[in-house]
């Protein structure tokens, strides 16, 4: 589906993403040695997590600038640019690891619902979900409901945090699971999804760990609310600022 020589999305890719809210490019993102370096950085973070659960390694790039080489790389930004334009800001990143036989489920949700009030617009936030481990149905790969990216703020209800990565999920009966598309990925492959699409993942019931690195971006025309984002850091990944945001130095 992609032009392997350029590492960019084709017009049919972009049209598919616009209609369905996701895309599976079907290519390796980084050179093998670079991917091995990223995977090794994740293993360091996992070993040093302390009391945190393996799926709670949020914004690791705030603490480890080595990750910026990947987050701000052409390999990733060339996938994002056709979807949100040439002026790109780094919003967030997250190592999400589901341990064998005990990895928690990710309840049905829209990322935008958890960010409500923090940004001026949610229509063009893109997540690159990079597989560190092989992701399968058995170990809790991500799944989406295609075409649900036009809303972004469903009604939610509380769920048990012992078995779920979040404290709330979209209300029962509002998600047609029969329409779910599962993102089975090899290590170093990625998926792309709109920040408003309904998605989630089942528990890891397999003997194999499932780790992914989420890398999130938004166009610099989006303004962050300083009061609602205290302590949150963003970087100008490419192009110029268009909204008056304050960025970290790369």
Residue 7 has pLDDT above 60, yes or no: no
User: What is the predicted pLDDT for the residue at 151?
Assistant: 87
pLDDT digits (tens, 9 = 90+) for 18-47: 999 999 999 999 999 999 999 999 999 999
For the chain, the domains span 2-222+230-238
The pLDDT > 90 percentage for the chain reads 84
H or E element in which residue 109 lies? strand 106-109
Residues 54, 65: Cα–Cα separation, whole Å: 20
How many whole angstroms separate alpha carbon 141 and alpha carbon 119? 28
Architecture label for domain 2-222+230-238: Sandwich (2.60)
Q: What is the three-class DSSP state of 66?
A: helix
Alpha helices in the chain (DSSP H): 11-20, 32-47, 68-71, 74-84, 111-114
Backbone phi, psi, residue 229, to 5°: -130, 30
List pLDDT tens digits, range 224-246. 999 999 999 999 999 999 999 99
Contact 127/213 with Cβ under 8 angstroms?
no
> Who's near 39: CB < 8 A, 6+ residues apart?
132, 187
142: three-class secondary structure by DSSP: strand
Summarised one tens digit per residue, pLDDT across range 182-196 is 999 999 999 999 999
End-to-end CA distance of the chain: 32
């Amino acid at each position: 589906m992609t032009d392997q020589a350029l590492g960019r999305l084709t017009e049919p890719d972009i049209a598919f993403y616009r209609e369905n809210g996701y895309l599976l490019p079907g290519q390796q993102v980084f050179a093998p040695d670079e991917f091995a370096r990223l995977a090794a950085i994740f293993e360091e973070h996992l070993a040093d997590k302390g009391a945190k659960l393996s799926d709670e390694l949020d914004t690791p790039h705030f603490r480890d600038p080595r990750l910026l080489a990947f987050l701000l790389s052409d390999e990733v930004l060339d996938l994002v640019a056709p979807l949100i334009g040439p002026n790109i800001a780094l919003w967030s990143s997250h190592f999400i690891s589901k341990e064998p036989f005990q990895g928690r489920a990710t309840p049905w949700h829209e990322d935008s619902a958890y960010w409500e009030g923090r940004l001026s617009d949610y229509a063009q936030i893109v997540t690159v979900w990079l597989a560190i481990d092989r992701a399968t149905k058995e170990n809790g790969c991500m799944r989406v409901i295609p075409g649900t990216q036009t809303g972004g703020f469903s009604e939610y209800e509380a769920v048990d945090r012992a078995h779920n990565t979040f404290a709330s999920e979209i209300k029962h009966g509002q998600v047609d699971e029969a329409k779910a598309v599962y993102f089975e990925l090899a290590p170093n492959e990625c998926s792309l999804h709109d920040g408003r699409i309904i998605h989630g993942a089942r528990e890891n019931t397999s003997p194999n760990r499932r780790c992914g690195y989420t890398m999130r971006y938004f166009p610099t025309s989006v303004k962050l609310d300083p009061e609602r984002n205290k302590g949150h850091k963003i970087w100008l990944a490419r192009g110029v600022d268009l909204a008056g945001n304050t960025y970290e130095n790369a």
